[in-house]
Structure 1
């Protein structure tokens, strides 16, 4: 049975190049994304279903005036995990850890947990 490898270089280029369209190409059509933070807590995470909703989330995040860096990524046995660090021009830092499942080289579901500096 042939499988398609996940494109970690596209992940890096999408994150660090702030290219929502590149990142969206890594998701399956029926993927689900969940994000947890101090506003969207574990009992009520932000959930985006399908590529249209995921595109809206990614377009919002990667259109912001901030830097993004893929710190590390691990892919194996149908799973993916990565750590991303970000910084706004005023020095506010954001850290996101994401973990999910992949099938045929595409993310099928992903949960991210993020935290950021607060005054």
Structure 2
């Protein structure tokens, strides 16, 4: 997907509210209709990442995540031009921790592409 520099800013406040408030709807609003996420983790390794296409598939992923008994915290978010990066720390009720890093490409202030890498306590 090609992108052009955006004059519309990325809404980092909505990102924080969505992540920390467990709102799949808020997070989905940050994505372009045709957005794509590639997820790399212990189950979907780099040669075979999970790929989600479009806002509906992305919202469904967040609905699944936020249905679990866990907390989420947006640690950092950096936006520069048509790219952003952010990290999250998460904790399940049983103490298991998850950490994620995302690198996104923006188009008109919306996420067009995202690479999400996540790691769990083993």
Q: TM-score range by the shorter chain?
A: over 0.9
CA-CA distance at 1:52 after TM superposition: 1.3
Q: For 1:7 and 1:99, how far apart are their aligned partners in 2?
A: 15
TM-score, normalised on structure 1?
A: 0.96
1:91 paired residue among 95, 116, 119: 95
- Structure 1 residues 90, 100: CA separation in 2 closer, same or farther (over 3 Å shift)? same
1:82 aligns with 2:86: yes
Partner of residue 7, structure 2: 3
Gaps of 5+ in 1: none
1:60-71 matches, cutoff 5 A: 60-71=64-75
Runs of 4+ displaced beyond 2 Å:
none
Q: Where do 1:12-51 residues align within 5 Å?
A: 12-51=16-55
After TM superposition, the score normalised by the length of structure 2 is: 0.93
Q: Residue 2 of structure 1: CA displacement? A: 7.5
Q: How many residues align?
A: 118
CA distance in 2, matches of 1:5, 1:109: 16
